[in-house]
Each structure stands twice: as C-alpha cells, then as structure tokens.
Chain A
Amino acid sequence: MTKILEINGVSKEFKGFKLDNITFGLEKGYIMGFIGPNGAGKTTTIRLIMNLLKKDSGDIKIFGMDNVSDEVPIKDRIGFVYEENYFYEHLTVNKMKEIIAPFYGKWDDNKFNEYCEKFELTPKKKIRDLSKGTKMKFSLAIALSHNAEFLILDEPTSGLDPVFRDKLMDILREEIQDENKSILFSTHITSDLEKIADYITFINNGRIVFSNQKDTILENYKIIKGDTGILTDEIRNELLGIKENRFGFEALCDYEKESLFSKFEVVTEKPSLEQMMVYLSNK
C-alpha cells in the first residue's frame, strides 16, 4: 500500500497547548476522518501538514516527500478546503479562479466549469454575496479542479445544514471512486464520517487516542447500559467513560471488558463515533 500521508512523532508547543508526539498515516485511496473536540489539535495538525506552522520536532511526509523541503511539488498535488473563507470577498467567482488557476500545473478549466454547473455557482457573482454553503462549494470546486491526489478538508461541514452536508458526502464519495485520491477530513460532526470514512483518527488534548480502520474501532468498543447498583469500584476502574443518572448508567468500555457484565442484566450496543468521542474526551 502506498502511503499518501505519514506523520511521525510530530510535536508543536504553544502557550497553553501542546501537540504531543503525534503519529498516524493514510494510505492511497482512502478517506480518513480526523475527529476530536474543539481545541483538541485538529487544525494545528492540518496547518503543520500544510507547512503553515513550523513543527518543533518529528517528520511529515506527503506522497513520500518531506512537507517542508518539497513544499511546492506537494502543494501542487493537494486540494485544501478550510472552514473559514479565505477568498477575497470583493472578487467574483471567476476572478478568484483566474487568480488561483495559474499556480497549479494540472489546472483543468473544463473541470472547474463542470463543478460550477454541478454546484450551481454563478461565475459573475461576488464571493461576498455567496451563502456559507455556496462558499464551501466554491472552495471544493477550486480544490477539485486541479486533479489533486490528496484532499485536506478542515471542518468543511461546520455551520452547514444537514442537506448540504449530505450532498458534500456524496461528492466526496464520488471523488474517491477512482482509488487514486485520498481525503483527510477533519470534523467534530462525527455523523458525517460514519457514512464515508474508512479510517478514523481521534485526537484529544493534543494526543492521538487512536488511529485505525473505522470498523475495527467500532468493534473494539462497547456501550453498556444498566442499573447503577452493579457498578463496583473494580468495574468502574475498567470503564473508559461513564454517565450516570437516576435511571441507571451508560458507559463505554473495551470490547474485551464486556465479560465483566456477563453476570448482570445489561444492554450492550455498538457505539457511534460521537459516543466514543464524548466518552473518550471526558476520560
């Protein structure tokens, strides 16, 4: 398998926050969901990948090349979409395209026009007059029009309505069909990833909690629901996260620890990514 992205032992320290020795990778042809609560380090990691920030230590390789020394050829093959709008608001869609297009070696004008039609983008409309969803569509059209092999999306769905989010997932699923493209999709709306992600990397407090195939992760954990009376100190210590109320408890535990409850009357469920994120973040 060809690795598109390799992050090895990367650290970056700010005042009051540290991205601590993170390691994960992404293979060609897959979508990786990069999840974590707000302030966990998702955007910092993406900015380190894009060499917008200088790392304190570690290595980042994209397409097998160093992200600092081979910055230009790497960025020529990357499509990026950020949460915030970085385009010049006073320009039209077409003018903005004219500014960006010459920078890319493989820019395809026909493809851009196709995406404009598909996303219902009016070329003569000013960027400031576009809705948030349409601005995101424009970002996507730019990112997809230069035959990028690796798409980096930093919280592209935050603030968007569920209908558009669903459409976006379809577009991404379509893009990944040829198996030559890979996507790193950072979000805290985990329901989006349940539909499309192959891999999930979970970051919390600047540390990678896990990075594995989505199905494996979901199989490795269980949600247990039952009466609070069965919760001994020994059991509590084995749980990864617990919520209690007057009706009972709900907890996340390792798959292997499910046997602890074999003697009791409990309900066992497969956790959702959101449940895992909530429990593991509060651990």
Chain B
Amino acid sequence: MGHIYAILLAGLFAIAAGLVGSVASMKRMVLASDVMSHLALPGLGIAFLLKGNPLVGGGATLFLGTLLVWQLQKKTDLATDASIGVVFAACLGIGALVTPNEDLLEALFGNFQKLSLPGFLLGTAAVMLVVAFLLGMKDRLILDLFSPELAAATGVKVALLDLGFLLVFSLTILVGLRFMGGLLSSALIIIPAATARQLTGRMGQFVVLASAVSLVSVAVGFLISTLILKTSTVGPTIVIVSVLLFVMSLLKKK
C-alpha cells in the first residue's frame, strides 16, 4: 500500500509541478527558481544527520530560504541577483557537507520509497493547496504577469502575490523532494513548461499541457527506472525523459 501512495503522490506532484512551472515560466523566473530546490539541502542534511524527518528539515530551510529570496528579489538590481545565486550555491555546499556520506546520494538525487498514509494525506493536502492558490489567484496572476504596475494600480497586492507564488513553488518542491532529490526537484517544474510553450501559444492550453507533459515524464521515467534500470533513484531518469520530450517538441513546426 505504501508504494501505491507513493506513486499516487508522485502523479499529483507532477500535475502541481506542471501548473507551477507554467506560471514560473511566464514570470521569467526560470533560471532563479530552477535552483530553488538547493535551499532544502542544508535542512535535509541536518535531518539525516540527526536521524529526524528529512521533509521537516528540508521544509524548514526551504521555507526560510524562500523568504530570503523573496526579500532579495524585491530589490531588483544585479547585486541582489548575484546574492540569490550565492545563497543557492552556499546551500548546496553546506547541505553536501552536513549530510552523512551514506545519505548524500539520496539527499541529492532522491529515492523512491514507501509512503505512509499520513504522509500521503499531507502531500495531497499540499498539492490541493497549490492548485487552489493558482486557480484562486488566476486573474491577479494574469495582471501581475502583464504588468506588476497595472496590477498594483488595480489594487492587487503584488508583493504578497509574489510571496504567495514563491511559497507555493517551494511547497511543490517539498512534495517531490523525497523521490526527486534536492538537486532535481525543481527540474520538473521547469522543463515540462518549456516543452508546453513550444507546442501552444494559448494560455489555457499551455498550463494544461505543462501538467500533462510533467505527468508523462514522471510515469515513463518511473517505469524505466524501476523496471529496466532496477533502481529506486528515479529522479534522474524522470528528468532525462522530460528533456527528451522537450527536444521532441522543438521538432514541431509552429
């Protein structure tokens, strides 16, 4: 049963990742956010070290790091762009140092394993929160994407909306953290959206396609990983499948 829960949650994660990724791609925050999963690494490492719950540790530093990134992003100049990069790299370094050697591979690249019922329910609740936020804030997000100034003039609280999106982004990373790992958890947010963008120019289709491509990547990657490669480190294979899908989408004539 534990594996069924894990598979189901992986699927839910894929859908959330596609949704979040499509918005992130429209916000042009792809490069910065791709490495956001690094923020979880110090917390993951400490949790492994102390034999605590990895998700709690990873979630804590992910959350704190997100707040930090949000503050840094509000000041838009080159220095803060660089400082965001420094934060990400530092987290990777610290995380790698802190994590016990035998857990390092799992922390970085994930491990597909049984999921308890409470864990499954929590993960599902998190995904539902992500979807609810994106659907509920859809119009405000559209205005923010078009022009943060005009959105503010229309009464949208732009800074809070951006924070909300960053948190939802982090929450999605957290849901996928165990089986995708700290390095690759955000790759699935980025790549399927890029693929979907090649295939359509309409926002509704774009968002749905991103989720669909993400789901296919997870399914195919998971199957190849467990059945052919016989490994529970499914993250890298999933990412490679998503990249192959992206390459295929480039072949499509617009």
Are the chains A and B members of one assembly?
Answer: no
Give me the interface of B with A, judged by CB distance under 8 Å.
none
Give me the interface of A with B, judged by CB distance under 8 Å.
none
